[in-house]
Amino acid sequence: MNILIVGSGGREHAICESVRRSDKAQKIYCAPGNAGIASIAECVPIGAMEFEKLADFAKEHNVDLTIVGMDDPLVGGIVDVFESRNLKVFGPSKKAAILEGSKAFSKDLMKKYNIPTAAYEVFENAQEAIEYLKDAKMPVVLKADGLALGKGVLICNTYEEAKDGVKQIMEDKKFGTAGSRMVIEEFMTGREVSVLSYCDGKHIKIMPSSQDHKRALNGDKGLNTGGMGTFSPSPFYTDEVDKICKEKIYQATVDAMRSEGREFKGIIFFGLMITKEGPKVLEYNARFGDPEAQVVLPRMKTDIIDVCLACIDGSLDKIDIEFEDNAAVCVVLASDGYPVKYDKGFEITGLDKFDSNDGYYCFHAGTKFDANGKIVTNGGRVLGVTAKGNDLKDARNNAYKATAWVDFSNKYMRDDIGKAIDEA
């Protein structure tokens, strides 16, 4: 089969790597891709939001299956465009991707179907939101309604801070049009866990848990980023938590979407908070996590193409999805200064030392070829170094060992990815 992957980050590199391992894959394309993806796939210079051009490409090159990695095109309706042209595509329709695209929608869905989540209110007017905050318990969480690159969430400790936050979201439109509506939510405490799942509209199959480190600095301090590293599985995702999630969250979400006439096919990413009262949903995403995919996909034994086709055909209940009984850790190598200000264009050395047959991967996030054909840094997050191990500690040691194999001028990483496992 000829496969097209849409996206250009570490997640898409991990998807390409899984597709490469499939016996079914013949020609692999990625649009737009990056310098690392280019070692697996032919990179096609079409942007992820250029739906018609992508569909033209898929037709012209006999693409049998397209896998969409990113949220923006999914929420924008890429799947509907492909399906209207009879092209097979893995991902939710626009109607279903709203699960990620609107926080107000997802909160209302959870309330209606009794799926555990933080208490909340939705506002379309800044004055009413500010009025509500006067009696609200602090800290409080403010969320812009739409997609905001994972940055549309403000945690406020005082009324003054929250009032200012409402102004930033709704009046200054700090997160763009995402801020025409907002959710004000109860602050929850506990461990965060990410659970990715495959869905075929009716059935759901859960992948092993993982955890992201979103803050830029050691000790989960500093600014929020796209993710500085991940580990899988999470020792905080116990059998007891799994049982409750299976009873109250996973199938309940798939059934709720179906009842709403928004059958969900693709990946549902459950962002969970394990609170004292049990697991609750922090957020839904409609795609693989980045960098969660970089620790979950390398552990998947089942052919990813078979799984995607089963999701599309509605036959997910007919296949077993197997994962290795080991662990993986991903340490992100970033440009110093990320996520605020950083230089790029530095040559990267040592990339040839990684061999996936040995359980080591170097997923590219922000890289490109320079005019001389050398691979250089081209973003805040540059590489995701993933290593497997027999257990989490082994995987962490391996991943940190491998971070020394690659180098570039302003290389920055956290030293404590996966340290939380010592507390488990």
268-287 footprint of ligand GLY as x/- string (CB under 6 A)? -----------------x--
Among 32, 77, 139, 150, binds ligand GLY (CB under 6 A): 150
Residue with tokens 């051009």: 53
Bridge partners for 2 per DSSP: none
Considering only CA atoms, give the Rg of the chain. Answer: 21
Quote the least distance from Cβ 358 to ligand GLY, whole Å.
26
Rule CB under 6 A: choose which of 272, 274, 282, 308 binds ligand AMP: 282
* CA–CA gap between residue 352 and residue 370 (Å, rounded): 18
Name the minimum Å distance from CB 227 to ligand GLY: 4
> Token pair of 140, please?
């409080």
Which residue is nearest to ligand GLY, using beta carbons? 289
Beta strands per DSSP E along 77-233: 89-90, 120-123, 140-144, 153-156, 182-186, 191-200, 204-206, 211-212, 215-217, 221-224, 229-232
**166 interacts with, out of ligand AMP, ligand GLY, none, CB within 5 to 8 A per kind:** none
Sign for the CA dihedral angle at 266, 76, 152, 413 comes to positive
Of residues 419, 423, 422, 388, the one with CA closest to residue 220? 419
Which residue has its beta carbon closest to ligand AMP?
Answer: 283
- Of residues 59 through 78, those in contact with ligand AMP by CB under 6 A are none
Supply angle C-alpha 124, 126, 129, rounded to 5: 85
Coil vs helix vs strand at 143: strand
Distance CA 112, CA 174 (A): 30
The residue (of 35 and 282) whose beta carbon lies closer to ligand AMP is 282
- For position 12 contacting ligand GLY by CB under 6 A, the verdict is no
Q: Tokens in use for 160?
A: 């003054």
Q: Which is nearer to ligand AMP, 298 or 418 (CB)?
A: 418
Antiparallel, parallel or unpaired: β 65-68 and 3-7: parallel
Q: Given candidates 91, 179, 229, 289, which one binds ligand GLY under the rule CB under 6 A?
A: 289
**Ordered DSSP codes for 55-86:** HHHHHHTT-SEEEE--HHHHHHTHHHHHHHTT
Residue of 222, 271, 350, 389 that binds ligand AMP (CB under 6 A): 271
CB of 8 to ligand AMP, least distance (A): 21
Smallest CA-to-CA distance from 399 within 232, 271, 236 is with 232
Residue among 192, 242, 306, 407 that touches ligand AMP (CB under 6 A)? 192
Nearer to ligand AMP, 144 or 328 (CB): 144
Verify binding: residue 312, ligand AMP, rule CB under 6 A. no
Q: Which does 292 bind (CB under 5 to 8 A by kind): ligand AMP, ligand GLY, none?
A: ligand GLY
Look at residue 351 and give the partner it binds from ligand AMP, ligand GLY, none, a contact being a CB closer than 5 to 8 Å depending on partner kind.
Answer: none
Residue 38 interacting partner from ligand GLY, ligand AMP, none (CB closer than 5 to 8 Å by kind): none
Nearest to 417 by CA among 391, 390, 394, 399: 399
Q: In the range 158-187, which residues lie near ligand AMP by CB under 6 A?
A: 185-187
383: helix, coil or strand?
strand
Cα–Cα distance, 45 to 129 (Å, whole number): 44
Q: Which is nearer to ligand AMP, 226 or 298 (CB)?
A: 226
Looking from the CA of 330 toward its CB, the CA atoms found within 13 Å total 36
Q: Which is nearer to ligand GLY, 55 or 365 (CB)?
A: 365
Interaction between residue 366 and ligand GLY (CB under 6 A): no
185 vs 292, beta carbon nearer ligand GLY: 292
136 binds ligand AMP (CB under 6 A): no
- The nearer residue to ligand AMP, 118 or 206, going by C-beta atoms, is 118
Give the one residue of 1, 43, 81, 118 binding ligand AMP; rule: CB under 6 A.
118
Name, in order, each residue with C-beta under 8 angstroms of 29's C-beta and a sequence gap of 6 or more.
Answer: 2, 3, 4, 5, 41, 42, 43, 44, 57, 61, 63
Q: Which does 227 bind (CB under 5 to 8 A by kind): ligand AMP, ligand GLY, none?
A: ligand GLY
Give the interface with ligand GLY as residue ranges (CB under 6 A). 150, 212, 227, 285, 289-290, 292
Give the interface with ligand AMP as residue ranges (CB under 6 A). 118, 141, 143, 150, 153, 155, 185-188, 192, 214, 271, 282-283
